Amino acid sequence: MRRSDSEIYRCPACLSDFVLMDEIRVEKEISTGILKCKNGHQFDISKGIPDFTWPKELLNIDQATKSLYDKLAEDYDKFAPIPFKTFFENEDGIRDGMTKKLNLKPTSKVLEIGGGDGRGALHIVKQITNGELYFQELSPSFMSKAYERLDPYIDRIRFAIANASYLSFSENYFDAALHFGGINTFSEIKRCLEELSRVVKPGGKIVIGDEGIGPWLRNTEMARIMINSNPLIGHVVPIELIPVEAREVKVEWIMMGAFYIIEFTVGEGEPKPNYHVPIPSERGGDHWSRYFGNLEGITDDGKRLAIEARIKSGKSMHEWLDSVVKDAAKRELGKNDR
């Protein structure tokens, strides 16, 4: 970790700034030390890699996943190709395709969460020759494998152990973010997607992928066989958890429909259409007046007379009601002003 990184990172618990303490340097890098925020949250740096795991005691699913990956890390090369071979796919082709969806430039600043042993990161760093990749992974054992794999590109990568649902960055810091192959096991998927939308700039891309059989295949023999072997393939795409900031959302199924990809562009807040487009109909008005312009209900006779009067006037109901209510209100206010 570089000393200047302490000015980049934010406390994943409260997002306040860090102060670097007790650091021991090896040349220009910090080998060990402590990052402490003003609220007292502390995170260790070991072998140059900060550990931003939060909460300190992980939720059960996250802890179980971390423990499993720590056990799998040493032999993961045996398991990683299986899904791609199963569905007659080329792993590099799949990962290249996901990376292209990020619309990266050579100078892009990219976040990869749950990066595993660094297989996907290789495809990112090759495209950002003058950019930066922030690589995060919850399993220390996987992190060690990734660090070794990515050694040729170490000058443009910052590593951190972290829970992907609690990100240690300020708002709008990245140009893009990527995750593939683990979000199904996150305890707080909704929070993770919201955090990604927080740290990626408006206009930036977020791409997420994992196991999740297409709904048109759920009742097939193929689905039953694959889910029996890997229950994660039975997961449903978490469309309802996509944050309101998402724009141009696309959901795609790949690998014979057994894996999904969600991609979207980050916007600001919820969408804001033009609510004030006039609607040329008998009802009239616009989207805004139809929603916010409601007054107390009237009797059946009153409604019947209003409809007859509206037809005779040639106006839309919105125009007729608006003029009638205004005229009546002005007369009443005129009396009150005397």
**pTM for this predicted structure:** 0.91
In CATH terms, 52-266 corresponds, of 3.40.50.150, 1.10.1060.10, 3.40.50.300, 3.30.70.260, to 3.40.50.150
User: Could you tell me if 161 and 136 are in contact, meaning their C-beta atoms sit under 8 angstroms apart?
Assistant: yes
Question: Is residue 159 helix, strand or coil?
Answer: strand
DSSP for residue 4: G
User: Residue 252 phi/psi, 5° resolution?
Assistant: -135, 140
Q: Model confidence over 119-155: pLDDT tens digits?
A: 999 999 999 999 999 999 999 999 999 999 999 999 9
Q: With contact defined as beta carbons under 8 Å apart, do 199 and 171 qualify?
A: yes
- State phi, psi for 143 to the nearest 5 degrees: -60, -40
Q: pLDDT per residue over 268-323, tens digit each?
A: 999 999 999 999 999 999 999 999 988 778 899 988 998 999 999 999 989 999 99
Residues 6 or more apart in contact with residue 275 via CB below 8 angstroms: 286, 287, 288, 291
- Distance (Å, whole) CA 75 – CA 245: 39
At 233, is the pLDDT very low, low, confident or very high (cuts 50, 70, 90)? Answer: very high
Within the chain, residue ranges assigned H as helices are: 60-72, 76-79, 82-86, 91-100, 119-125, 140-149, 189-199, 221-229, 287-292, 300-313, 317-337
Q: Residue 170 is which amino acid?
A: S
Domain regions of the chain by residue span: 1-50, 52-266, 287-337
